[in-house]
Amino acid sequence: MERDQVRNLELLDMKEVVLAHEVDFHTWRYATRLSLRAKIPPEAIRWRVQNTNDKFVEPVFHQNISDEEKINISRNLMYDIMTLIQSYDPERFSLAYRLVYRVFYKELTLQETNDHDLSLLKDRVHDVLKETHHFRKIFSEFVALRECQKLFYENKNYIVEANADFCKARCAQLWEVQTQYRRMLWNGSRLFFGPGTAQSPHVTKAQWRSKDEGVWHEGFYPSQVLPPSRERVKEIDNLPELAATAMDCRSCELCVPACRTVFGVGKALSPMMLVGEQPGDQEDKAGVPFVGPAGQLLDQALEEAGIIRKESYITNAVKHFRFIDKNGRRLHQKPDEKHVMACYPWLEAERRLVKPKVIVMLGATAAHSLLKRSVTIARERSRLFSIEGAEKGLVTIHPSYLLRLPDERAQQQEYDRFVSDLTLARRFVESC
Ligand code: URA
Ligand code: SF4
The gap between the terminal CA atoms of the chain, to the nearest Å, is 67
Ligand nearest to the CA of 279: 1
What CATH code is carried by the domain that includes residue 248? 3.40.470.10
- pLDDT tens digit string along 67-88? 666 778 899 999 999 999 999 9
Instruction: Based on the fold, state whether residues 197 and 73 are members of the same structural domain.
Output: no
Last-in-domain residue among 112, 147, 178 = 112
How far, in Å, CA of 98 to CA of 105, rounded?
11
The predicted structure's pLDDT at residue 3: 46
Are 48 and 147 part of one and the same domain?
no
Q: Say yes or no: CB of residue 280 within 6 Å of ligand 1.
A: yes
Specify if 259 maps to a domain.
yes
Domain assignment of residue 298, yes or no? yes
Distance CA 271, CA 274 (A): 10
Same domain, 414 and 298: yes
Residues 236 and 211 in one domain: no
Q: pLDDT grade, residue 1 (50/70/90)?
A: very low
- Alpha helix (H) residue ranges in 247-336: 281-286, 293-304
| 17 shares its domain with 107 | yes
- Whose CA is closest to atom 3 on ligand 2? 320
Q: Are residues 288 and 185 in the same domain?
A: no
Phi-psi region of 214 (alpha: psi -120 to 50; beta: other; left: phi over 0): left
Residue whose CA is closest, atom 4 of ligand 2? 252
Q: Which of 216, 251, 272 is the last residue of a domain?
A: 216
Is 336 found in the same domain as 242? yes
283 CB less than 6 Å from ligand 1?
yes
Q: Which of 186, 216, 246 lies at the terminal end of a domain, its last residue?
A: 216
Number of structural domains in the chain: 3
Asked if residue 223 belongs to a domain, the reply is: no
Looking at every residue in the chain, the average pLDDT score rounds to 92
Q: How far is CA 145 from CA 38, 61, 102, 391, in A?
A: 54, 39, 48, 28
Are 23 and 107 members of one domain?
Answer: yes
Are 176 and 40 in the same domain? no
Atom of ligand 2 nearest to the CA of 246: 8
Which ligand has the nearest atom to the CA of 286?
Answer: 1
Domain span at residue 88?
A: 3-112
This prediction has a pTM of 0.92
16 confidence band (pLDDT: 50, 70, 90): confident
Same domain, 187 and 273: no
360 and 243 inside one domain? yes
Encode pLDDT of 352-388 as tens digits.
999 999 999 999 999 999 999 999 999 999 999 999 8
Asked if the structure places residue 118 within a domain, the reply is no
Q: Are residues 259 and 205 in the same domain?
A: no
